[in-house]
Structures are given as C-alpha cells and as structure tokens.
Structure 1
Amino acid sequence: MLVAEIMKRKIEEALKPTRLDVADDSQRHAGHAGHHPGGESHFTVTIVSAAFEGVGRIERHRKVNALLAEELAGRVHALALTLMTPDEEARRL
C-alpha cells in the first residue's frame, strides 16, 4: 500500500474529516535531503475536521504527527499541514 493511502486511512479513521487532501510533493524536492527516487517522502496535507474544535494550532499538529508517527519515522521526510475546523474553512472561502 502506498504511504499516501496509509496516511489517508489513518486520518479518516481518527479524525473523520469533512475534507482531506494529501498531495505528494516529492518530485519538487529531487536532490534535497530526505528525497526518495520513488517519491512519497514529502507531503502537503490539508485536513478539515470537527475534531479540531477548541484545539489550538500546535496541539492540532501534535495530534496529526502522533497519528502519522510510523510514517514520519520511516519514509516521510517532510509534512506540511493545514488543519482547520469546518467553520474556519467556511470563513476562508
């Protein structure tokens, strides 16, 4: 199973997001530290979930990093996160 698919499954099960985008940005990092020729080393992830209600920005990041600890300890070198509640997303639109 691809790393992106594993991350999506874990996030969906734990956070029940109303929006989840997982983009593999590895090709943009060719030649940089942590890059793998086969990709799946650098990701940009956007999660919109009610699970973030009343939770500060740092704690949201900690929650997602803990969820993906196995992937971060392995192949994933970089993870850019945008984490919002549904209300926060609606205000951005």
Structure 2
Amino acid sequence: MSMTDTIHAKLSEKFAPLHLEVIDESASHHGHAGWREGGETHFRVRIATRDFDGMSRVAQHRAVMLALDDEMKASVHALAIEVLPSGSI
C-alpha cells in the first residue's frame, strides 16, 4: 500500500471525513531536506469532518498529526494540513 493510501485510510477511519484529499507533493521538493528517491515524503491533506467542529485550529492539526504518528516517525518528512469547514461541504 502506498503512503498516500495509508494516510487516506487512517484519516478516513479516524475521522469519517465529509471530504478528504491526500496529495503527494514530494516531486516539488526534489533535492530539499527529507526528500528521498521514490517520493512519498511530503504530503498535503485537505480534510473536512464534523469531528473538528468547535476545535481550535491547533487542536485540529494535533488530531491529524496524532492519527498519523507512526507515518510521521517512519517516513513522512512534511505534512501540510488544510482543514475545511464541515458546513461548506
């Protein structure tokens, strides 16, 4: 399973999102810190979930990072998180 698929599966299971995009941006970081041959090091996540309603932005980001703790420790170098309002989906 690719890292994109793993991230998607973990976030889907944890948050039952209304919207979820997992974008591998590794190619645009070629030669930068943390980049490795084969990619799957730099990601962007766009997520909308009612689980985040009423949470601060910091708490939302912490929740995503906690859900992906193993991946962040093992192979993901960078993760950009965009939380979309659940009411807009």
Q: TM-score, normalised by structure 2?
A: 0.95
| Match in the other structure for 1:15 | 15
Distance 1:85 1:15 in 2: 14
- Count, aligned residues: 89
Q: What displacement does 1:74 show?
A: 1.1
Runs of at least 5 residues in structure 1 that lack an aligned partner in the other structure = none
Distance 1:8 1:23 in 2: 10
Which runs of at least 4 in structure 1 moved beyond 6 Å after TM superposition?
none
Letter paired with 1:58: V
Once the two structures are superposed, the pairs formed by residues 1-12 of structure 1 within 5 Å of their partners are 1-12=1-12
Residue deviations 1:53-75, cap 9 Å, x none? 11110000000000000000011
Runs of at least 5 residues in structure 2 that lack an aligned partner in the other structure = none
Distance 1:10 1:85 in 2: 20
| Match in the other structure for 1:32 | 32
Q: What displacement does 1:7 show?
A: 0.7
SS in 2 for 1:39: coil
| Match in the other structure for 1:79 | 79
